[in-house]
Every structure is written in C-alpha cells, then in structure tokens.
Chains A and B, each alone.
Chain A
C-alpha cells in the first residue's frame, strides 16, 4: 500500500534525503531498507529511519539469535499448582516471573551493559544496574537483590585496573544509593576480555500474583503517560547515527554515555509501585531502556495489538531545541511509559506529584495498529507498530567450526610431552593458583557493595551462592542465587562449556542447600557475521538448552550481547547463566566453610583426572588448550540429588564444589572461613593418576563436604546406594597446617600463608601508589 508522503519535519535538518550512506550509517543493510520501505509503503523520514535502526538492532530484535533462543525450555515440567509455574515467560515481557507459592512470585532477569562500560566504566556500569532494576519493577515487583557477572582482561594492565575500579564503583554507587543489596557475583580475568569488559547485571524482585503488570497498550482512548526524569540528548552518540549530520554542534557536546541518577530511580520505584497498587489504574507499563521512547511505544502497542499516538511537545525535556529524532532515540535514564485507564488521569498525576516526578500525558491508545509521532503538531513518524517488533528481520547466520578447535581438542598432556609435577612443583602451584585474580578472594570488589541493605541477606558474598530471606507478606522464604560461566571452557568446547556453566551453577546452589528453580542467561559473544563466532554462539545456546531441559530449569528471560570484540579478536564465548534456587528450611542453608576440627572430609564424584582448560595449565604452563572437562549429566544429577538429601538429613556441615583450580584450591577455600581450621588429607591411594591432574585438574561433578565422624558411615552407605562415588580423604584439624599426602610425597602449607595470598591478591594489585 502506497502511503502519502509525510509533511516536512519542523526541524529542517531532518528533511535531508535518505541516501544509501545514511542507511549504512544507521547499521541497516540495503535489503533491510527495502523491507522497511515495504512496511511503510514509501520512503521513511529521517526520524523513521532512526526508529527502525534501533528497533531492528540485535539489542531490541534479537535478529541473529531468535531462531536459536527458541530451543530454550520456557516452562517447568515439575511445576505444581502452587509452586514453580512460569507465570510470565521469557520474551513475553521485560522479565520472566515464576511462582514461589502462597500467591507470591519472583521476577528476575540479567542484562548486559558491556559497550557503555568499556567507554565510561563508572556510568556505564551504574546505568546497567539502573536499567535492570527498572525491568523488574516494571513487572510490578519490588526489587530485593542484585548480582553481577564481570569479565576483565588480566589484572596486570593499567587499562584493566581502571576498568575494574570504575565498573565496581559504578555498580556500588547505583546499588547502594537505590537501596538494593548486591548479594553475589562472579568475576574472571582473561586476556580475551582486554579492552572489552563484560558487565552483566541481574535484579530479582518479589510480587503477589495479582500485582503482575504487563507492557501492553490496550483500550481505545486510554491516555499514555511519560513518567520519571526529563529527556536529554543522552546516549545519542551510542545510536548508529553520526551526530554531525544532525546539527552544527560539535560531537563533544553529545555524550555517548548516559548518566544515571539512583535517587531519581528510588523515587520512580516507589511512585510506580504505589501507582500499580491502585486497583484498575494501570493498563500497561514499560520502562524506557535502550531506544527509550521508541521501544516503549511500539512494543506496548504491538503487544496490545493496538496503536499509539504521541506528541513530543508534551515530553519533559532537559535541553532546549531537541528535534524529533533526538527525543525518540534518546537513552536518558529513569523514565517509564504508563498506559492508564481513561478518566483516571488525576490519580496518576497525584501519585507522581507526591514523589516530585514528571507525569506527562504524551499521547493516546488508538485502534489503528500504528505508532504515530507528532512534533509541534506535525506528523514526523507513522509506522505499523508490529513491523518494528514482530516483523523485524530474522537471520540464520552461517556457522563454521573454528579451525583452532582441531588443535586444542586433540591436545593431551601426554601427547604434548607435558611432564607431571614433582613435589616442589606441586607445592609451589597452590599459592600461585590461590593468588590468581580469577580464583582469589573478591573481597576488594564486594566490600564496596552494600550487601546487607533491606537486611534479608543470609549468606554474604564469598560463599558458593548468595542466600537471601524473602519477606512475603506473613511468610518468609529463602532463595539462593549464583552466576556462572567459565569462558575458557566455552572457547575450548562451546557446547560442553555452556553445559558446564549450567551444571556448575546448579552444583553451587545445591551446595548451599537449594533446589534449582529457574534461570536467566546473558549471551556475550563476538560478531555473529563471522562464521567462527556464530558456531560458538549456536553450540553454546544448544548446550545451555540441553542442560536446562535435562535439569528441568526453565529459562525465564535473558539478554544477548554481540560484537564483543577488540582488535585482537572476539572475546571467549561467555554464555553467563544465573540460576535461582529455593531453600525449603532455614536449617538447610549450607556454607562452604569448614566448621569443626575432627570432622571428616569426603570427596564426592571421584578423583579429578583431567587438565584441559584448567587454570593450572594457564598459570603454570602458559597454556590455554585441551578439551573442556567431561560432563556426565546423569552422574551430575545423582550427585546433586544425593547431596541435597544429605543436607536435608542434617549430615552436611559444609559443602564446596570443585571448580577453577581443582581439589586443593577448593579444600583451601573451605579453610578460609571464620573457624580458621587446618586439614590433613591422604590422596596417595590415587597413585595411578597424574599428580597435577589430581590436585589441580578441573574435572566436573566433584564436591567436597564436611561430615561429622558419627555420620560418616551413613553418608558413605547412602552414597553407595545412590551410585555416587564417595571417599573419606581426611579430616579438618585444629592445627594451622594443610597437609596432603600424595604418591610422590607429602605436601605441607601453613594455612595462614595460603590465606594471605588468596585474600590480598586483588587488593594488592589495585593499590594506588602513594595512597596506601
């Protein structure tokens, strides 16, 4: 259908003809441009071109990943009428929601802010936190916790230190000011993230089933409100359009970086929750994140099967003279779009006046299915809403197995002539591994976060998973939450690496006494147009989906971040997973720290025997090769079920899973708790194995547990009955030594020395000269 041309834009600079260069600058392919002209029935205005470019970007449209994401399970098979049902599925809304019983539910989601954080680490990370919090309270939920997943280059470079310092300070600033605790996280340091750090932030909120709100525009004639902070030219440089063509102002005046205001966000949380509690007032609500006003208007219209008309003169503006392109594409923070029941305008205006926030009536819901934007009364954009969302292009990219995998997957220590450690080498490796920033204590980071505010945090950062008490009306429930992803494994074997991310996360939750409930994922990858990268993406997604189906852990939402590359190449594939688990009783909460001298140390899952992809290979031999450790899902399931049953039977006083650094790192970390114990273990019976693989290999499906001497026989007998390998390898001691007997001799370390290496590594690296 041919449409009549729109009238000229009030701002003459927006009336320039659409050239192929302009289309290219907007990141649209020629065929995409043809497609959008088809949707419009004519050529777009510049404002419309900008709108299409952001809505058809990977961030909003998932155009390269949508077919892959369909493989994720979105429902829980084992859900009951009163627990575990997915109430809002992945992709339907801003965040998924899952039933936790008694009429209560949780909403949670993880989202990336990688590129903004690379440009301006403090503001980039801070606004990442602000954005994910809005995704949660948009759903009607009160935000109760944050976690984050960070990746940086090696900590020896000044650039990495600057990024780490800025990102952590930004997260702390926003989270602490807004009053939501940061309770858990994971941080890895690896060359592949040099210059392209990953900043993934998660928020979780609680709500009653009847409080669930959706981002839907319905009801002909219902007013559309803009609430929150005023719009400035924030983030416009981040959009694909070079700003020079737009006006004569220098680009230095147009920051690519959005700046957050956590106190404004706090007001917005309270105002929105208050407004949503008024029965029948709110028809739909959506936050303005990436692509701000554009995304929120066309998505709500498209979901509601309706249309929306807005007048930009009504939009609160921080700066004078903004044109329609700028207002529609601004990424100013702390703003929401609300559709209200007609005739009740006064009620919403009163709530927002009370909280000192803008509530501007910017438009109306129509039944045309079109998103119509006016500026000074002139129509500047008129687009079928669904063409921006549901009908965005979808691509099946080309995938090719990267050549390096042939070499790395064939690598074996024997084949490459790698000599096993001698006694000296075995002794020297442990303190070195404990001091690796990836393994070392993250205290320097989490001490900057307020992890206690709202006083629900039960297990503080530093153990296997964060545990939080949710106050739900008259009842209390406990959840555990943990992020995971070892990018090194995903680099060496994408599918298996993703499986490991998932099973390790589940193992961490089980070690805390929790039953895994649901997950959210953040897929961080390189440019999908490169077949090598797309292969990694595809394999990782399939690996995650397989693990989710196997363990019946549905995906309730997530985020995709592509184009994570530096001049040296793509980052290691990093499909970060974050799983929420449910703890039945407070008594089941288990920590990783050994508690009592004389109690026994039991290794579950068998002796480790693989070296591929390990931190040991990286740190001691400078190798990033081999295959990722093997995963046996059936064995993993038996192990996790067994451990949960033993925790519930009250026989486990501490549990810690083996991950980066292997057996001795895990054992050392169990000693770094408040009880300040030592340990004595005997591994000399495992004589047939390589000593380095036994002590420092990263075989999956292994857990160390602390068992009282009186419970040992029962634990071992139950393990045998459940077909879970279990072996008592030693005891915790009141002594100050860690003593390990091996086939090549006995190793001894003073625990205090190990602990100080582990505790001080990051702090020492981050010390500023002259500032102490």
Chain B
C-alpha cells in the first residue's frame, strides 16, 4: 500500500515560509491571494494491509518522528490497502 503523510504548520502558528512564498506569488502577479501555508508530504510504500493496529503504529510514528506536535498537524491518505 502507498501512504501519503501530510505535515502542515498548525493553523495558528506563524509560517514564515508560507508568508515568504505568498509574498513572492503576489509580486509575480497573482491577485486575490488570501493565504499561503507551506508544509511537507512524506510518501511511504509498505508491504502489508491496512488495519487498526497498523494505523495506531502509523499515528505514533507521525507524532514522534514525522511531525512536531507542538507546532505541526498531520493527516494521511492510504491507497491500495
């Protein structure tokens, strides 16, 4: 199965990278921009099937390693499970 983990700055946390990218987009002529947030995607390919146990393990890894829960949120999509 293929898993995509999306890690994004928490809604209320300042995102300097997002601000900088948004600013650049505006100066390149993009009008009407209301906000820009920059996060990251982690792609995993794993043998095996989706299961509640697997999701529990994945959640723990997301919290402990892939994201910093103090300032970031995460969610994931599982395909081909």
Assess whether A255 is in contact with B16, with CB atoms less than 8 Å apart.
Answer: no
- The 8 lowest CB-CB distance pairs between A and B, nearest first, are A261-B16, A259-B14, A120-B70, A233-B12, A255-B13, A259-B13, A253-B12, A253-B11
Interface residues of B in 1-26 (CB under 8 A from A): 10-16, 19-20, 23
Q: Tell me if B12 and A264 are in contact (CB < 8 A).
A: no
Cα distance A319–B14 in the bound complex, in angstroms: 10
Given contacts A232-B13, A259-B71, 7 further A-B contacts (CB under 8 A): A229-B14, A232-B14, A233-B12, A234-B13, A255-B12, A255-B13, A259-B16
Contact assessment for A232 and B12 in the assembled complex, using a CB-CB cutoff below 8 Å: yes
The answer on a CB contact under 8 Å between B71 and A332 is no
Interface residue total, chain A, C-beta cutoff 8 A? 24
Q: Which residues from A are CB-within-8-Å of B13?
A: 232, 234, 255, 257, 259
CA distance A357 to B15 in the complex (A): 16
Whose C-beta in chain B lies nearest to the C-beta of A319? B12
Q: How far is the CA of A318 from the CA of B10 in the complex (A)?
A: 13
- B78 CB, min distance to chain A CBs, angstroms: 23
Could you pull out 9 A-B pairs where Cβ atoms are within 8 angstroms?
A: A232-B13, A234-B13, A253-B11, A259-B15, A260-B14, A263-B20, A318-B14, A319-B11, A356-B23
- Nearest residue (CB) in A for B19 is A261
Beta-carbon contact of A257 and B70 below 8 Å: yes
A123 interface residue per 8 A CB criterion: yes
Contact, CB under 8 Å: B16 / A254? no
Tell yes or no: A119 within 8 A of B by CB: yes
Q: Which applies to chain A's interface (DSSP): helix, strand, loop or mixed? A: loop
Within the complex, the shortest CB–CB distance from A268 to chain B, in Å, comes to 13
CA distance A232 to B20 in the complex (A): 17
In the complex the two chains form, what is the Cα distance from A258 to B20 in whole Å? 18
Q: Is the Cβ of A264 less than 8 Å from the Cβ of B71?
A: no
Residue ID in chain B nearest A261 by CB atoms: B16
Nearest chain B residue, comparing its CB with the CB of A322: B12
A297 CB–B CB distance under 8 Å? no
Query: Pick the contact of B71 from A120, A233, A263, A333 — CB < 8 Å?
Result: A120
Q: Is A721 an interface residue (CB 8 A)?
A: no
Cα–Cα distance between A253 and B72 once the two chains are bound (Å): 10
**A252: Cβ under 8 A from any B Cβ:** yes
Report yes or no: B71 in contact with A257, Cβ–Cβ below 8 A.
yes
A229, B14: Cα distance in complex, Å: 10
Q: Are A332 and B10 in contact (CB under 8 A)?
A: no
Chain A residues positioned under 8 Å from B11 (CB to CB): 253, 319
How far apart sit A233 and B13, CA to CA, in the bound complex (Å)? 8
B12-A261 in contact (CB<8A): no
- Most chain B CB atoms below 10 A, which of A123, A255, A318, A332: A255
Question: Which of chain A's residues have a CB closer than 8 A to the CB of B15?
Answer: 259
Q: Contact partner of B14 among A120, A234, A254, A256, CB < 8 A?
A: A234
Which residues from 230 to 247 on chain A have a C-beta closer than 8 Å to any C-beta of chain B?
232-234
Residue on A with the closest CB to B72?
A255
The docked-state distance in angstroms from the alpha carbon of A524 to that of B4 is: 45
**Which of B10, B20, B23 touches A255 (beta carbons < 8 Å)?**
B10
Chain A residue with the shortest CB-CB distance to B73: A252
B59 to chain A: closest CB distance in Å?
14
Which residue, of B10, B13, B15, B23, has the highest number of chain A Cβ atoms within 10 A? B13
- Within A99-131, the residues touching B (CB, 8 Å) are 119-120, 123
Tell me, in angstroms, the Cα distance from A257 to B14 when the chains sit together. 10
Residues of B within 8 A of A261 (CB): 14, 16, 19
